[in-house]
Amino acid sequence: MTQYAYFEGSIRPIDEARISVMTHALNYGTGWFGGLRGYWNAEHEQLYVFRIRDHYRRFLNSGKILMAKLNVDEDTLAEITLELLRREGYREDCYIRPLGYKAEEGIGVRLHGVRDELTIFSTAFGRYLQAEEGAKVCFSSWRRVDDNMIPARGKVSGSYVNSALIKSEAVLNGFDEALVLTQDGHVSEGSAENVFMVRDGVLITPPVHTNVLEGITRRTVIHLAQQELGLQVVERDIDRSEVYIADEAFFCGTGVQIASIASVEHRPLGSGHMGPITQALRNLYFRVVRGQEEKYMDWLTPVYVAERQPA
Ligand code: PMP
């Protein structure tokens, strides 16, 4: 159970982390956020936060798009996060949510000259998508927000109305998730996750100019696929019907981790079961994030410091 939050400059009981109904970000969506995971390794008795600095770099960049003035750097954000997680004392997987927001209480839509605030909270967390081993997916009737509308590479609170429209339509129509197209009809991503497909042994994902969030997991998958599995990875536009005939496809993201796509609009992909490349990447990803791959320990930040041994 979540007990604490970083709020208005200090870590305090979560019940004290409250904002006014007049808050700018609540009225106008002028917030920006991040989403990180902490993975518990029982053998090491350690909680590892995955790619903390990369997440905070993107968080600060999202703030930059919204003209935020927070006066914190990645290192400070990481330190606050580690302190918060120590206070929570997790011995299980968790999710961390840094949220920056325009905190002014008053009327007036704009970005400039509005006070910014930072809060960070966390929660114990398991699966984001229940059907991680084989999701039934549709194409959304909605289009992905465009860079010239609400920049998709920023994790902007207001743009998550787009994600919510996409997700609810899919789930209420009996699917687990949706893929969403850009205005010109190419595949962008899922409601809150990036997407990859496999055709003839090549891993293909939409490029960063297709209104995707520049996912940390996407970057991780590209690296592991090339370096560890020796796969060719291509970033290029993907047509809707290419996904229908892909050998494999999967979502990736901090929340969804690596989730296999079993079918797209009632067309089973490949054998209809998780394909070998998705399986291999998924297995490796879980080993990396949980601290079971020595080579990738640099991507992990341990939360708990070892008790000092008596001299
Ligand atoms: N796209 C969107 C819209 C998202 O919200 C997320 C989750 N942050 C992702 C992709 C995946 O990004 P990441 O791998 O950095 O979590």
Ligand 1 proximity of 34 Cβ (cutoff 6 Å): no
What does residue 226 show for φ and ψ, rounded to 5 degrees? Answer: -75, -50
Q: Give this prediction's pTM.
A: 0.96
CA count, 13 A, side-chain hemisphere, 36: 29
Structure tokens at 214: 């520049």
Distance CA(249)–CA(39), nearest Å, equals: 25
Report the separation in Å between the CA atom of 308 and the middle of ligand 1, taken as the mean of its atom positions: 38
Ligand 1 proximity of 220 Cβ (cutoff 6 Å): no
Give yes or no for residue 311 having a pLDDT over 60: no
The residue nearest atom 10 of ligand 1, judged by CA position, is 193
Ligand 1 proximity of 254 Cβ (cutoff 6 Å): yes
Residues 147-156 have a mean pLDDT of 96
Ligand 1 pocket check: which of 49, 62, 193 to mutate, most ligand atoms within 8 Å of Cβ?
Answer: 193
Q: In this predicted model, what pLDDT tens digit does every residue of 16-52 receive, in sequence order?
A: 999 999 999 999 999 999 999 999 999 999 999 999 9
Structure tokens at 25: 């970000």
Report the separation in Å between the CA atom of 254 and the middle of ligand 1, taken as the mean of its atom positions: 7
**Mapping DSSP to helix (H, G, I), strand (E, B) and coil, where does residue 239 land?**
strand
Measured torsion, CA atoms of residues 106, 110, 115, 121, in degrees rounded to the nearest 10: 90
Task: Show which residues are catalytic.
Answer: 155
Distance CA(211)–CA(214), nearest Å, equals: 9
Structure tokens at 236: 């290029």
| pLDDT value of position 305 | 87
pLDDT interval class at 261 (50, 70, 90)? very high
Report the separation in Å between the CA atom of 31 and the middle of ligand 1, taken as the mean of its atom positions: 16
